[in-house]
Structure 1
């Protein structure tokens, strides 16, 4: 059973998930700090290249299953046209209301 978007407790994470699911590049950029970083399965990646490939050009979508008490960690069923569906873990660092880093990988 998925957690509804409005039930995500951390506003920056909620904005991130909403942007991913809407395929909205501008909204995602607005949810991130300037110079935000990320890693996928433990390897740092170029955030612009990764989001274009894994989210926008491949119709990425997150169905959030659980969130941590602080709202900064999620487990989600993530799917895109490249890899299909997989259970993923997400961890976010928020600074001044925006995401400065996120880490994702298979859960």
Structure 2
């Protein structure tokens, strides 16, 4: 059974998951720092290009299966129109002050 974004331990991570599932790019970007970075399967990617291709232009959706590290590491059944569904791990780094995500790393679990 998936964990609802509002029930995740870290509210910033929950806001990002909610934004993905609502297909709300503005809300997604609002929880990231201006200089946020990310990686996919261990390789750094261009953030804007990746989120357009893998999330917003392809109907991305996160079903969180479990969380650890205070809600900053998620095991997710992720699906989009390009790749179908896959089990992925997402790790988040919260910027000092706790209000935004400065980096996330995702990859197949």
> In the alignment, is residue 76 of structure 1 matched against residue 76 of structure 2?
yes
Tell me which residue corresponds to 2:26.
26
> In the alignment, is residue 51 of structure 1 matched against residue 78 of structure 2?
no
RMSD (CA atoms): 0.7
Return the TM-score normalized by structure 2: 0.96
Quote the offset at 1:69 in angstroms: 4.1
Deviations 1:15-59 (A, max 9, x none): 110110011110011010011000000000000000000000000
Deviations 1:61-88 (A, max 9, x none): 0000000041100000000000000000
Tell me which residue corresponds to 1:66.
66
Runs of 5+ consecutive residues of structure 2 not aligned to the other structure: none
Where do 4+ consecutive residues of structure 1 move more than 6 Å?
Answer: none
Secondary structure of the 1:15 match is helix
**2-side partners of 1:78 and 1:65: how far apart?**
10
Runs of 5+ consecutive residues of structure 1 not aligned to the other structure: none
Tell me which residue corresponds to 2:102.
100
Tell me which residue corresponds to 2:91.
91
Secondary structure of the 1:23 match is coil
**1-side partners of 2:23 and 2:72: how far apart?**
21
Return the TM-score normalized by structure 1: 0.97
Question: Aligned residues, how many?
Answer: 107
**1-side partners of 2:49 and 2:77: how far apart?**
22
